[in-house]
Amino acid sequence: MRKDWDTYFLDIAFEVAERSTCPRRMVGAVVVKNKRIKGTGYNGSASGLAHCTDEGCIVVNNHCIRTIHAEVNALLECTPEERQGATIYVTDRPCAECSKLIISSGITRVVFARDYHFDYDWFKEAPWVELIHLEREKDK
């Protein structure tokens, strides 16, 4: 049976996550507009800086601060026009900080597979952004 588009792009986000350089949480994100990939991102260090896999994580308040989150890296690859009205597919539910950036970026749909603890649900205050939990069989 042929995959639907949401499952297809979410599966690609899981492939992208395999490039993550922070072993604490391997996350992938894909920005899609009109069924075309506009940008991808994974948890990793800023360009030119040491990676967790090389130097270890820097953990503050139980979060690794060495890495840039997958969602941010994916958004940085896109122009504002590419983000406007697009969907971001993420392996894990975006954290509160990434949620605010997604809301501000022009993205109108967020599809994620694995639930993740969040400090505050900014999407409740942004009804113009649709949040979809699409649990994959293999992640249950």
Catalytic residues, which ones?
71
SS3 10: helix
Distance CA 83, CA 129 (A): 12
Beta partners for residue 39, in sequence order? 31
Distance CA 19, CA 26 (A): 8
Contact 95, 25 (CB under 8 A): no
